[in-house]
Structure 1
């Protein structure tokens, strides 16, 4: 009499992709991110814009009519000069964030990514975290250099910058954070649209075109509610994050209207987080439902 036995599964038997840890996914996505030429070029452009604009405006500081009267006003001016390139860097970050995901759809590499990570969520989380963190780090270093190189230029014009002031460094970190958040917002749009041109156009529309539309609306309507609504679009919220206001007056953010809402930096930061979370949640839901 013969009997058949069913082979017992070995401890190493896994379903496809179930043994892939998040650390491995993160490392894989990091290799892909730093291997892209667009990543290096975009980061280089961000650095050049942030430092270059600070140098340019710092060099023309001699054209200011007299130095600001108080120490806080001088600090505010120093922040404005050091962060003058942030909106332009945000445009580049928007392009990079969109390309990171749409490039994979364009080349078909996303099929390999999702074959290795069938659940898809870890891959998308790793991508968005990496693009946000790396953009923040590069921008923070560039803004620190921008502040340091613009300080002596401002000093020669009678504007003394106190680098021991914690608020001024918080503004630099805030400016870097906004560039990272814009990249993450663009990533979410790219994952939703899946087309490079469409995602880039949408991201640039949010960063560049939307403020223009609101500015026209404010000129035509001039009601507190439209000024309050303006505070919740990413570019204006970003400005509030790294702003250095003095007595409620800002050198970087557009003035509001009596009765309109003005966000505090931490509130503006939460607005940017909200944009990232909502767009990423929509993207994740669509990526799980769609065929590659």
Structure 2
């Protein structure tokens, strides 16, 4: 009499499998780096940062020393920083567009259904996307800013204008610029999850970053003028342009700017989390 050997059924195998959050993050990283638009977006971000740094450095060294208070050699730190972070204002658009495409592209192709089938806890999938996108954008943004600093420093050194990167007044704007770009990508990811279309999501992000500040600046009212510092792009700019921790004049101060920008990210992210649980894919 022979003994039959029973093999585990597919159901048993699936039951033993455990979907971990680390595995979800790994999956989202693979998806992010396998999309061609991601590579092109990050490459363009670095190229624009370096190009604008060179352009601004050239322009700053062309300022006549006789212009009152504007001679670059008299304020080397400000001059180097201004050239190094010139690309962040344009980079925010790239980070925003990429953030929308990361999730809206899945809705367009229907891949999001496969994602939610593999990750029944939809919030885990959204959180994993956010972690991967934030980390990648922060690293690329920091590389872009440091590369821009090196190019600007090389050009400005010919005019005896120099500022070491270890100077907090130099390093923090570089770090803050990368942090702002990463936060913009998260904000755009949340908008993309809410709107679910690439065109609509990009329109909302661009409108909030560029059009809304322009509209408010044209309104001759006290409330509009007082609201301008709390806009996403203005508060974000304060993260990488504030040289001190204390507010100066009408500025909010670096840490308050960081808090305001964080709220701009948190509100749509919370709304996206609620919508993911209540709407069908």
Question: What CA deviation, in whole Å up to 9, does each residue of 1:177-199 have, x standing for no partner?
Answer: 11111111111000000011000
Of 178, 184, 187 in structure 1, the residue corresponding to residue 186 of structure 2 is 184
SS of 1:115's partner is: helix
The aligned counterpart of 2:51 is: 52
- Residue 158 of structure 2: aligned partner: 156
User: CA offset at residue 271 of structure 1?
Assistant: 1.3
Q: 1 CA distance for matches of 2:253 and 2:158? A: 33
Partner of 1:14: 15
Aligned to 2:241: 243
The separation in 2 between residues aligned to 1:205 and 1:281, in whole angstroms, is: 20
Offset, 1:11: 8.1
Q: Secondary structure at the residue paired with 1:80?
A: helix
**What's the TM-score, normalizing by structure 1?**
0.85
Partner of 1:81: 83
Gaps of 5+ in 2: 1-10, 66-70
Contact 2:73 2:159 in 1 (8 A): no
TM-score by length of 2: 0.88
The answer to whether the aligner puts 1:62 opposite 2:71 as a matched pair is: no
Higher helix share: 2
**Residue 76 (structure 1) shift:** 1.4
Aligned mates of 2:230, 2:247 — CA distance in 1? 19
**Cα distance in structure 2, aligned partners of 1:242 and 1:47:** 17
The CA RMSD over aligned residues, in Å, is 2.3
The whole-number CA distance in structure 2 between the counterparts of 1:268 and 1:89 is 19
Q: In the alignment, is the contact (CA less than 8 A) between 1:228 and 1:262 conserved in 2?
A: no
Return the offset for 1:62. Answer: 2.5
Matched, 1:116 2:118: yes
Q: How many residues align?
A: 266
Q: State how 1:1-292 maps to structure 2 within 5 Å.
A: 14=15, 19-66=18-65, 67-68=71-72, 70=74, 73-217=75-219, 220-221=220-221, 223=222, 225-245=223-243, 261-292=250-281
Deviation at 1:227, TM superposition (A): 3.3
